[in-house]
Amino acid sequence: MPAAVEPALVHGDFRLGNLLVAPDGRVAVLDWELAHLGDPAEDLGWLCARPWRFGGPGEAAGLGSRDELLSAYASAGGSGVDPERLHFWEVLASLKWGVICQVQAARHTPEHPSLEHAAIGRRVT
């Protein structure tokens, strides 16, 4: 575990799918039901996890490198995040997503069929 940092508001599901963007740029960040106080690097790790790259070449959301993300984050006023701390949160994000996929797959049953649960559960493999 990385050393504890001053807790901050963490989105909990920070990824491109939760950004509302207009021609002039970002308008809003959506889906705050997982928000909590924690390490801000948790959101950066979630953004870098492989499931949110969707085949893109970049390590950060499929768009850019981890170094570019950390540099932009610091330039925008975020605290410095070292690559090892980011790596911890990225690995944990992948583990969490795997568990979420398994739970969703288990919810898709003949008694309670759900295309959404089946589709998310399929991503476990």
Tens digits of residue pLDDT in 82-105: 999 999 999 999 999 888 888 888
Question: Is the model more confident about 85 or about 120?
Answer: 85
Give the domain ranges of the chain: 8-122
The dihedrals phi and psi of 103, each to the nearest 5 degrees, come to -65, -45
User: Do 83 and 70 meet the contact criterion of CB atoms below 8 Å apart?
Assistant: yes
The CATH code that applies to domain 8-122 is: 3.90.1200.10
Determine the average pLDDT of the residues in 101-122: 78
36: phi then psi, degrees, rounded to nearest 5: -165, 170
pLDDT tens figures, 7-64: 999 999 999 999 999 999 879 999 999 999 999 999 999 999 998 998 899 999 999 9
pTM of the model: 0.85
Q: What angle do CA 61, 64, 69 make, to 5 degrees?
A: 85
- Predicted pLDDT of residue 23: 94
Pairing of strands 36-38, 25-29: unpaired
Band of residue 3 on the pLDDT scale cut at 50, 70, 90: very high
Start-to-end CA span in the chain (Å): 27
Residue 111: Cβ within 10 Å count: 4
Predicted pLDDT of residue 124: 64
Strands (E) across 3-77 are located at 8-10, 19-22, 25-29, 36-38
DSSP for 103-124 reads HHHHH--SSS--HHHHHHHHTT
pLDDT beyond 70 at 76: yes
Rounded mean pLDDT, 60-82 = 94
